[in-house]
Every structure is written in C-alpha cells, then in structure tokens.
Chains A and B, each alone.
Chain A
Amino acid sequence: MATVYVNNEPVTIGDSERLNCIQAAARLNEEIPHYCWHPQLSVVASCRMCLVEVGDKKPDGTIAMQPKLVPGCQTPVKDGTVIITNSPKVKDAQKATLEYLLLNHPLDCPVCDQAGECGLQDYSYGYGRGYSRLQEPKNIKPDKDYIGDQITLFTDRCIMCTRCVRFTREISGTAEMQVTSRGTHEEIDIFPGIPCNNKLAGNVVDICPVGALCSKDFLYQQRVWFLQNTKSVCPGCSTGCSITVDQNKDVVHRLKPRVNPQAQGHFMCDEGRFGWKYIHSDKRLQMPELRQKGTLASRDWDVILPAVRKALDDRVSSQPHAVAAIISPWATVEEAYLLCSYLKKMSEHVSLAIGPTRTVGEDDHYPKDVRGNADGNPKFTIRAEKAPNRAGVERVLQHFQGDVVPYADVLSAIQSGAIDTVYLVGGDPEATWNDSDLAAFKSLKLLIVQDLLASPLTQAAQIVLAGTSFAEKDGTFVNHSGLAQAVRRSIHGPDDARPDGRILWDLAERRGLFNANNLRKEIGQTIPSLAALSCGDLGEFGVSTAAQPEPVAAT
C-alpha cells in the first residue's frame, strides 16, 4: 500500500493502482482542475491547468519538494508523494493559465449551449482572476458547421485541449479530426471532405470541456440549468450504456453517457444517443383500446383491466395450453416477472415465449484501423443485438418455465392453431412485422398487445394497452454481460398511457402500488439467477448477476 499526501492529508492507494496526481487528489475530493486530461485518452499535458507542486516524503519525515510546477496529469504518484494543490504558486499558475485560455475566447456565454456545464466557467469561478488584461482585439476564427452531421464547431471558443482529436484517433480510431495551423492561430478541423460521422462521433461533444463542439441536435434547445438529469440505461442495444436522461417539463432533450466502468466505460454510440426520438413520436399510443364490433375504441383503464382479466380467465380456464405470453426483450425484468407470475398462477400450462430480438449486422468494435477493421483490443462495442434486456427476460422465463420458448416456435404454434390466445408485451420502437406474422396474429382468438407505438400489430389486437418508453418507467435491464442496471423514470408518459410495470401490477391485482425497488427485492428472493437484485436499489453502477460480482470502483 502506498500513502500519498494531498495538501498534507494522507490517502492510501492500492499496490496495483497506477494513478496520477489528479486521480489521487480526487480520492480526497480535492479537485485538481484539468482540461486536456481524460481518463480514457492519452496524456498530452498541454492545457497546463493541472499544475501542482509535488515532492517526496522521505522515510525520516523530511519533505523534498520539486522546485518547478508539474502537470498533475503527467505525474504518477508513488509511496510518499506529496501533492500541494493550493499553494500561492499553484494558484498563480492556475490564474495565469485561465487568463491565457480566455484571451481569445469570445465570452459569449449568454448564447453558448455549454453555459452552465462549462469547464471554463467553472474553473474561472473557482480558480480564475475574474478579469482580463487583454486590450487588443481577440482572434476571430470561423465557425465550422461541417464537422459532422451531428456536430458543429464554434472555433473561437476552443481551448485546444485536443480531446476530440485524441478521441477520434484512440477510441473510434477513425481519426477524422486534426489540428490545423500553428500557435495562437491553431484550429480544430476535419480533413477536407471527410466529416466526423463515425458511430461514436457524438462523444466529442461530451468530452469537449467548453462550448466549442456542440451537438446540432441539442443546439439552442435548452439552457442546461433547466434540465433535470435522471440516471438510466440506454435501451439501444445489449451493451446497456449507463446514461443520464436530460429532460425539462416532461420533454427529453438529450441523452448523455455516464461513467460506468462495469458497463460501457465513458462513452456511448450515436445510435443510442440520438435514438430516443420515438419517445415524443405522434405514433405513441395515448390510451388503452378495446375492440368492440370490429373497431378499436379508447376505453378507460377501469374498464380495460377487468376486461383483460376476464378474457384471460376465460381462455386459460377453458384451454390453458392454447394461451401464450410473448415478452419482448425490451421489457424490464419486473414486467416479465409480473406477467409470468400472474399467468403461471392461473395455470401451469400457459407457455411463456420471448419476443423477437432484433439483430443488426455484427458486433461493432472500436477503435478501427484505417481499413475499418477493429483491432484486437476493443475499447467500445456497439452490439448487434439491439434489445437491452434479453438476458433479464430469459432468466425470468427460465425460472417460471424451465426453458424459454423461442419466438419462432410460438409463431409456428400460432400458425398451426395450437395457440389461439396471446398476451404480447412489446417495446421495440423499431419493430417490424412481416405479413405472414401479422396474418398469424390476426388469426388468433384473442390478442392482447401492450406496447408504446401504434403498429400493424396493435391494429390487429383485440385489446391494446398503452405502455411507456424507458424514459417513463422504472425497472431493470440486464445487459449482455449480466450487469443489472436500473432504468429510472425521467418524464411522465402520455396522460392515459401507463408504465408497463404498473399495468401488469394492477392486472395481477397486487396490493399497493408498483415500486421497482420493492419488486426487485421480491424477484431477487424468488429467482436464484437474479439473486443480486435483492438489494432493491441497484445504485449508480448496477450490480452484476454473474457468478462473482466485481466490486465497483468510482473513478
């Protein structure tokens, strides 16, 4: 164990840990301001914001300080390292660096998207001089709206930390971005005619510590201080990136990745980042619907739920073998559990099937080399399996039924007439149903569809239950590696749509209200393969349902 002293406070660091001064100080909640350093990118030590004084504490207790300031990002700590982050010398250097960074910065915070979450604002307030002594005109550099389909560059706001350049070289491997010119005339740019449109491109906006790189999608939509952030999980693929959902007044404005070393790390892909627009789609189911005299008509929940219960009761009591539930891998663990336990309580013979798992291409690994091939050591993966919770739904089905009926099997059973009643829980915003499938579903005696978007399938149903998207419900997703993470409600859905968990809770006539934390405890105690859920609240990083859960280390 190594002991490092940050402003005379000791902090112990494990033997296998290789930390720099910034990380060591963070252990004591001492902030060393920094711009160019990013834990996932190479160290360039060029912004010079993280200058600190360091020294060595000898065994006899004397301290030998280095005469010069050193960049904290570049300086590894070892046993006896002494870090001073608040001496007058350090503060002067921080003031000087900030004054330099702001020399040619336009200070257009009132019209800048980054205002409110800006590294320059925060550090200027915390460490800056408060005024500039520049009397001369500032450099003016042209804005570049051509950086990428989703990215625009306000060139004069840039502080040349080169995080974006390093990201495209080291994480995406696509190397679209570069530095042009020299000295104070330096600019970030792309190579002519090759815009930054790789599938991870949106991350350069996140890692930009200032308002230089902005997302065209979010540009001028909201002042960030109006946004409320909810920690959630991206439903875009089975990687299950930890995200925050940023909303204001029940409108989602953006998703941002959230650091989770157990899930994806620091980043997320553009598919997920911009793939939430269906939440506010006008195809959303607004109310539950019941088919009467051949046409679907909106009905109140108080009418619908008894109707569902009665219809299911009738079918199960007469022909339990002909009843099936198809639970989509977009459903949460809680929803699968509620529906399965409800149906299996009615009859052992009801079959439980998993819905179609949409797979697109192959797993997409980054970084890529110039030919587009991934190298052997992927730093980020976009998975081909676009469903966020196949692992979770399968575990629930296995518990209740021993094995999982594949979608193809249940479909052929429908086509053969062996199954004539289906309760289908959807959730895939991009689900497509081909004609033969639809014909099969149309042939059913009873089709109950619980989904969030109107589709040919809902048109074919006898009962349609208006569910909600991931941003509007609480639940659990289990990703490809068995990490269970909490999806948390961020906004309210349409007025008469209900969170799927609540629909199923009420359908099963359970007492009280649907509460994901409490239900998770119940699931954890009931299903051995999901025993890790018994903690209830899954916290920020989620818990692993794999055999040996790994400890979570905050960075």
Chain B
Amino acid sequence: MAQFEPTLLARIHKPDSPALASYRADGGYEALKKALGMAPVDVINEVKNSGLRGRGGAGFPCGLKWTFLPKDHPGPIYLAVNADESEPATFNNRILMEKDPHQLLEGIAIACHAIKSNSAYIYVRYEYGRSYRAMQAAIDECYANGILGKSVLGSDFSLDIRLHRGAAAYICGEETGLIESLEGKRAWPRIKPPFPAIEGLFRKPTIVNNVETLCCVKQILQRGGDWFKSMGVPPDPNNPRDAGSYGPKLYCISGHVNNPCCVELPMGITARQLIEEHGGGVWKGRQAKAVVPGGISMGFMSASELDTPLDFNGPGKVGCLGLGTAAVTVIDDQTSMVDVLFNCARFFAHESCGQCTPCREGTAWMHKILNRVRAGHGELRDLDLLVEVASSMGIIPGTTICGLSDGAAWPIKNAIKKFRSEFEDYIKSGRKSVDPIPAGAH
C-alpha cells in the first residue's frame, strides 16, 4: 500500500484548526453543499455503499441503521451524536472535537439531511470540558455564518444543533441510556424493541451515531464511497454475517508504550504494528504481556495474539468481544494481571447503572472477590466462581438490558482463560498486591 494519508486527522496539527475560516480554506462544507444537492436517499445509498460501520464499538453498518427509520414519518426525527466517550483509554472523539469541530458539524449536517432531521443533539461527556467549549464555539460560528439555522448554506434545509453536557456516567454512552439522559431522566437503558430508530428521543424516531462515524460520513461525501471502500479489510467469505471493515480508523494507543497517541490508519492493522511503529514500542524495554484491543470491555489479547488484525472481525477470532473503540492498551510483562483485572472490575462495578439485577450485583461481587484475592485471601475456586458470575450476565446470555454487563464480564472471562496460571500462582503464593492501585481509576 502506498503511503497512507490521514483524512480524519488531516487538519489537527494546524494552529487554528478549530476555526471556521481555516476549515473553509481547506475545502470545508463543500461536502455538505454537495450533499444538499443530492436527494437524501442518494446520500444514504452513498454511505451504504461505502461500507461504513459505526465507530462507537458495536460496528453496526451506518447506512443500514439510517434506513430503519419509518418511511414518510411526519417528524420530528432526531439525530443524537454520541460524544460520551467513556470507554477507558479511548480518546479519538476528543481529538476530533477539540481539534476539528467543524468536520463533525459538517458530518452531522450531512447525516441530518440524509435522515430528514432538523434537529441534532451532541451529548458530550462531562469530563470533556475542552471539547464542549470547542464544539460550542464552532456551533456559534456556524449559526453566525448561515451554516446552521433556518437555511443551511442558503438551501431550504433547516438544522439546529444543540450541545448537551452529560454528568459523567459511562452508561450514557449506551444509545438508549444516552437518550434517557438527554430527556433529563436517569440514564437507565431502555428495553428494546422499540429501537431508537422507531421510538427514541422524546418518543420520536432517533438515530444515534458516534462522533467518528459522522466524521467519516463527511469524508465519504467529499471523497466518495469508493474511496472509503478502497481501504480496509473485505468481508470474510466464510462468515456470512461479516460486513467487512472498510475505511480509515482512529486507533488510540496507550498504556505501557513509549509514545501513547492516536493515529489514523486503514482498518486491519495489527496490534504489533501499532505498538512498534506508532506507539514507540513497549516502555522500559519490556515485553507486552497482554493488549486490550479496543477498550477494556473487549477483553485481552495475549502476547502470542498480537498479530491479529484490528478490524471488526479480528479480535473476535482470538476470543475478544470485538474491536470496540479500537483503543489499544498495552500491559507490560511486569504488571500483575490480578491488578489489571481488579482495576477493570472496579470500573464496571462503579459504572453499572444498577437497573438489571445480574449486572448490578454481579459487577460488584466480582469486584469484591478480586479485592479479596488481592488482599491475599483468594482461593482457587474463586476463579471458577468469577467465570460463572461473568458468564451469567450480559445480553449474550440474555440476562441484561444493555451491553455494559457483557463488557464487564468479558475481561474477566478472557483474563482468567488466558492467564489462569498467573492467577493460580498468585493465589497459591498468598501474595498481596500493594497499592497504589493503577492510575486512571475512579
């Protein structure tokens, strides 16, 4: 492959990248102009043909999601932008919002035109104060320059974008939790059906898209669906449910590497390439023991699985839950997996919304068990108990409403399966872990 040119992140290093003038100088809002000249259904088809899949974690085909809206609905139809980027070690949306907010706004405008929505909400997580301010400044600029409001770019299409700042809860990243939160309620995910495309925000049809997805939409309209499809990994012919992993993707690299960063690369790069070529290798000359492929809820890849391509299919083949947010976290060989797992269980116990019994009690129980193991009171049967608890929760067995619980259970199952001997040695030795607990925990 020729030298890859970043597109989503092309502008972030410019000194005044968030400004409208600078964005327009780089050809900004031309894609929107082009989209407004097309019929909404053609925009949807363009996105559909590009093979764009949602970047938020689940990887649902974006164009297909848009077609789930009821036909000829009298409206209003809403677009909710999921900028509640709470998955640990994920920070690509933040860069997109802080450094290039107009790219996102253009993507939102194109999407709203496609789904015939005149109203979009951006749900920014509480912790992203800088993103919030950058987005607000950009929205104000757009209103002042006729890009948003009654007449978008002089057309008869009107669009209002409202910014909403969350109150710091992981569950608000779940699409129906986000909708409930936007409505001013407790962010307890809704039971489905009805899906948001039928009955979502304010009981109206609603599309929830991730920030990066919408930025991709802008690039697709600018460069064409074929350009997007020229990158990435085609579908696995042996897997009829695989829709392929096309396009560029923002990979976040963090943890025990020399150079934590966010890079844009075509789908399908391996974790080893990411660590070696972009992350500057594992720090202090150590080896990687485990790598989280895409946010902690996806589980762990062991050192022998580092050559797995990080596309929508790859991590699943080595027992991970999926690609997730493509936030790669490296754990070096001197870190105890017990501590890693404890930290992760603590996160999910803290963030479980508490609606469904298995998740509410299960996440807290796993946290308590791992706490006891770390205090030197573990027993070997605790490992089986952890796996049993983890297996009984989530939408995969059907025992919870949303996927938070699957994300909480997966690293437990994964770590104990892949690193069982380490856990057993830890328990048998009667070791105790020393605090401080790893950084970044709540």
Chain A residues close to B by CB (< 8 Å): 43-49, 51, 68-71, 74, 92-93, 96-97, 100-101, 103-104, 133-136, 139, 159-160, 179, 181-186
Any chain A CB within 8 A of the CB of B130?
Answer: no
Is B403 on the interface with A (CB-CB < 8 A)? no
A48 x B399 contact (CB < 8 A):
yes
- When C-beta atoms are compared, the residue in chain A nearest to B359 turns out to be A183
Q: Does B371 contact A (CB under 8 A)?
A: yes
> Which 7 residue pairs of A and B lie closest in terms of their CB atoms, listed nearest first?
A68-B398, A184-B364, A100-B361, A69-B398, A136-B368, A183-B352, A186-B354
15 A-B pairs whose Cβ atoms sit less than 8 Å apart in the complex:
A46-B188, A46-B355, A46-B401, A68-B395, A68-B398, A93-B397, A97-B357, A100-B365, A136-B371, A136-B372, A139-B364, A179-B354, A183-B354, A184-B361, A184-B363
Whether A104 lies near B361 (C-beta < 8 A) is yes
Interface contact B365-A46, CB-CB below 8 Å: no
What's the nearest-Cβ distance from chain A to residue B392, in Å?
A: 4
Enumerate chain A residues within 8 angstroms of B354, measured Cβ to Cβ: 160, 179, 181-186
What residue in chain B is nearest A95 (Cβ atoms)? Answer: B392
Q: Does B44 contact A (CB under 8 A)?
A: no
| Total residues of chain B contacting the partner, CB 8 A | 33
Partner of B392, one of A93, A159, A182, A183: A93
Which residue on B lies nearest to A179, using beta carbons?
Answer: B186
CA distance A96 to B399 in the complex (A): 10
CB distance from A438 to the nearest CB of B (A): 57
A97/B364 in contact, CB under 8 A: no
Residue of B nearest to A162 (CB): B355
Given contacts A48-B358, A182-B352, contact A134 B365 (CB under 8 A): yes
Nearest CB of B to A112, in Å: 20
Contact B385 A133 (CB under 8 A): yes
The docked-state distance in angstroms from the alpha carbon of A101 to that of B398 is: 17
Contacts of A184 in B (CB 8 A): 349, 352, 354, 360-361, 363-364
The CA-CA distance from A100 to B364 in the complex, in Å, is 10
B196 interface hit (Cβ, 8 Å)? no
Q: How many A-B residue pairs have CB under 8 A?
A: 97
Contacts of A160 in B (CB 8 A): 354, 357, 360
Residue on A nearest B389 in the bound complex, by CB: A96
Q: Chain B's nearest CB lies how many Å from the CB of A135?
A: 7
B369 CB-CB contact with A under 8 Å: yes
A-binding residues in B (CB < 8 A): 169, 186, 188, 191, 349-358, 360-365, 368-369, 371-372, 385, 392, 395-401
A48 / chain B contacts, CB cutoff of 8 Å: 356-358, 399-400
Q: Is A100 in contact with B357, judged by CB distance below 8 angstroms?
A: yes
A45 to B371 CA separation, bound complex (whole angstroms): 30
B392's nearest neighbour on chain A, judged by CB, is A96
CA gap between A400 and B351 in the complex, in Å: 72
Q: Which of B191, B349, B351, B362 contacts A44 (CB 8 A)?
A: B191
CB contacts (< 8 Å) of B401 on chain A: these are 45-46
Residues A183 and B191 in contact, CB atoms below 8 Å apart: no
Q: A47-B356, A92-B392 are in contact. List 16 more A-B contacts (CB 8 A).
A: A46-B355, A74-B191, A96-B358, A97-B357, A100-B360, A100-B362, A103-B365, A104-B361, A134-B368, A136-B369, A160-B354, A182-B351, A182-B353, A183-B363, A184-B360, A186-B360
Are A68 and B368 touching (Cβ within 8 A)? no
Residues of A with C-beta under 8 A to B397: 68-69, 93
Q: Which residues of B contact A71 (CB under 8 A)?
A: 191
Assembly CA distance A135 to B357 (angstroms): 19
CA distance A46 to B395 in the complex (A): 12
B220 CB, min distance to chain A CBs, angstroms: 34
The answer to whether B360 and A183 touch across the interface, beta carbons within 8 angstroms, is yes
